[in-house]
Amino acid sequence: MTTIAGKKVLITGGSSGIGWLMAKKLIAKGAAQVILWDIKTPDLQQDSPKLPISFTPVDVSEKEAVRQASQQLIDQQLVPDILILNAGVVWGGYFHEQSASQTQKMIDVNVFGVIWPAHFLLPAMIALKRGHIVSISSAAAMIANPRMAIYAATKWAVYGWSESLRLEMQQLKTAIQVSTVTPSFIDTGMFAGAKVNKLLPNLKPEVAASKIVRGIEKNKRFIRMPFLVFALPFLKGVLPASWFDHLIGNGLSVYKSMSNFKGHSK
């Protein structure tokens, strides 16, 4: 079990959405300090004037910025006990219609924005012989989907990296826990317009944040939601590809889920 009370937590992409909700829930469970890294400044006074939450402007896709921010935490003896790698961006659309800058940005934020913080902070966590790394991947890491080829590719990368890291930490007996989170669409502005069906409803942000926090406490290897996401690895493994496509694409309409995608409004 991972005890949250008294722990230091770092959340990337923590200024809004489930990052911000997780911050408040972790504080409610007794976290000593929550540090937010983001490019967007949160309104700390509006919701939590007295909560032990601090903010540092960091673009997690920029290696040098992450290195400097990480070293600052190490120098201040603020190495996180729990590192939640939550930052992410998405643009919906067919691969050939997306711009090179959109493609690059998704890879930089969704992949390197996960890898760089862990790269610079993990050695210090190992030295302290404690810690928990939480990677926010996606159900898109377990299933292909039209109009999100690059986003899915980035989340597949995070999934593979996180799972490999978990095995490395076990093999080296570091006591570092690793959890991989694979939610379906969460009902935030990031995926506005995206929708599947009643069997795969868009997740409420409060529910998603609560499940992630509970998963951290229980040292879950995988934190999957909603329930049907648990069946994806099995179905993909036992069904012929054409049957799987028919069931998921036509039966559950997953392959049409990005048809009305709007994302964050300008």
Rg of the chain, C-alpha, whole Å: 18
Mark whether 255 is an active-site residue.
Answer: no
| 94, 151, 159, 255: the active-site residue | 151
Task: Report the distance separating Cα 7 and Cα 31, nearest Å.
Answer: 5
- How many degrees, rounded to 5, is the angle at CA 202 between CA 46 and CA 165? 85
Instruction: Look up residue 200 and give its amino acid.
Output: L
Active-site residues: which are they?
151
